[in-house]
Amino acid sequence: MTRTVSITPFKDQKPGTSGLRKKVPVFQAPGYTEAFIQSIFDSLEGFQGKTLVIGGDGRFYNREVIQTALRMAAANGFGRVLVGRGGILSTPAASHMIRKYEAFGGLILSASHNPGGPTEDFGIKYNISNGGPAPETITDAIYARTQVIDRYRIADFDDVDLDELGTFEGGGMTIEVVDPVADYAELMETLFDFGAIRALVSGGFRVAFDAMHAVTGPYASEILVRRLGVDPASVLNATPLEDFGGHHPDPNLVHARKLYDLMMSPEAPDFGAASDGDGDRNLIIGRGVFVTPSDSLAMLAANAHLAPGYKNGLKGIARSMPTSGAADRVAAKLGVEMHETPTGWKFFGNLLDAGRCTICGEESAGTGSDHVREKDGLWAVLLWLNILAVRKQSVMEIVRDHWAEYGRTYYSRHDYEAIDTGQANQLFSALEGKLDSLAGHQAGSLTIAKADSFTYHDPVDGSVSRNQGIRIFFEGGSRLVFRLSGTGTSGATLRVYMERHEPDPAHHDEETQEALAPVIEAAEALAEIRKWTGRDSPTVIT
């Protein structure tokens, strides 16, 4: 039986760059989850009888929302749903599954790198048929629908056993509980030389991978341990937990500190990596060296031809605007297109679909390629391992060689989290008001060459995305970027990005924050962060 339930709209259901994210108690409010899912379905056309993919990162409330989504998908006319066993499906694996099985789209239940638990974060994101996040035309339509929605449709049938592989029927719809890892692992085998990586590992090369009690635990156990021969003890925190073990599943130097400390110790293995809540981000650390996400993108692009899946070279490289310009220098040497997009993986989708780029990345620990339409944490780890297996050098040696060839781009991001939204908006308004008059002026010890609010003109569909962040360019090549992030669930997060290119290898051993000191000083002089936020220092430095 299918029911239509009357509701009143919830005014706070505007999707951000990665869907709708709120605290669990918000999603638990009667009708809240249903209103948003129905608004997604109401904003789509032509899905009757088609396939929908559903899965999540295993965080608290994941299973309950999957049962609701299954009943609503049946009531709204989907013909089949593929759902990951245990409700588990990493974001890149979901993207691959949508593409492989030609699904109409997918619901990904995750708040990515945000904490999980009864009072922590939850999220719902819709991905389209190319496997990528819904573009702004769809998310805008979803939000518009949330403002006027007055009912949702739901079918009545018993809960599906998510822990049992098999095919079930509910509300006239076929429900298939599938292995969340198998299709993804097979895809990785087509891209990388698993034989070379196995030989590397069997020769004594040691790996440490921190799954952070999040979704990549089962993927790492299957691929790294069973298929590549990594010691099972080297996959840390491999069991997905609803609260991620009480930790923050964000693979950065704050939340993956134990891994970092291990990699900097005398007992360090040869290669360290971590992934986040839903498996789309990565952290790369060699023995004695942290590889920034911006550098990792550049180094992966420069060496991708060493992996079988990329042996014919790259069609182009794309990076988000706040990501450092390190990859630009690689693109210039390779003679391929370089694209600078707003933050948000959906902006890479058009470029990938049009064959305008092969590898893309964001400074926020996300890299990926045209194999899916999401960033992919394990993909980055495997490409690094493939490169290490072929070059037979350490991570440190590869990093040093890259800097010697392209110069070192010192880079850092300072996050001011959970600041008052009004104060954040005032800071931005004050800074925007200065932009037209900044050229030629001093900011600390640096001279401003130009400043703007970044506007992106999509070269594929001609769409325009304005106000994507403030860019300050200094004479000599340094750069400063300010953005307000849309990935949190409370208050606002001010992100400040700083970079300085240093071509001389004699100056490649400076401490990053010291090397960036003039740019950090300029950020405070321009934005008056202490004045507007009351903060003397960032919450997180990466």
Cβ–Cβ < 8 Å for 268, 287:
yes
Cβ–Cβ < 8 Å for 4, 26:
no
What is the C-alpha to C-alpha distance for residues 303 and 192, in angstroms, rounded to an integer? 13
What is the C-alpha to C-alpha distance for residues 226 and 203, in angstroms, rounded to an integer? 16
What is the C-alpha to C-alpha distance for residues 316 and 355, in angstroms, rounded to an integer? 8
Neighbours of 312 (CB within 10 A): 9
Tokens in use for 483?
Answer: 């953005």
SS3 label, residue 220: helix
Strand partners, 52: 81, 105
112 in active site = yes
The DSSP line for 342-364 is -SSTHHHHHHHHTTS-SEEEETT
CA nearest to 376, candidates 289, 230, 273, 236: 273
**Burial classification of residue 434, based on how many CB atoms lie within 10 Å of its CB (0-12 exposed, 13-18 middle, 19 or more buried):** middle
What is the C-alpha to C-alpha distance for residues 516 and 510, in angstroms, rounded to an integer? 10
SS3 label, residue 492: strand
CA nearest to 192, candidates 63, 293, 32, 308: 308
Cβ–Cβ < 8 Å for 133, 41:
no
Q: Which of 95, 112, 234, 320 is flagged as catalytic? A: 112
Strand partners, 500: 410
Angle between helices 377-391 and 194-202 (to 10 degrees): 70
What is the C-alpha to C-alpha distance for residues 494 and 486, in angstroms, rounded to an integer? 10
Q: Which residues lie below 8 Å from residue 147, measured CB to CB, with a gap of 6+? A: 9, 11
CA nearest to 345, candidates 369, 381, 314: 369
Tokens in use for 412?
Answer: 């850092």
Active-site residue numbers?
A: 112
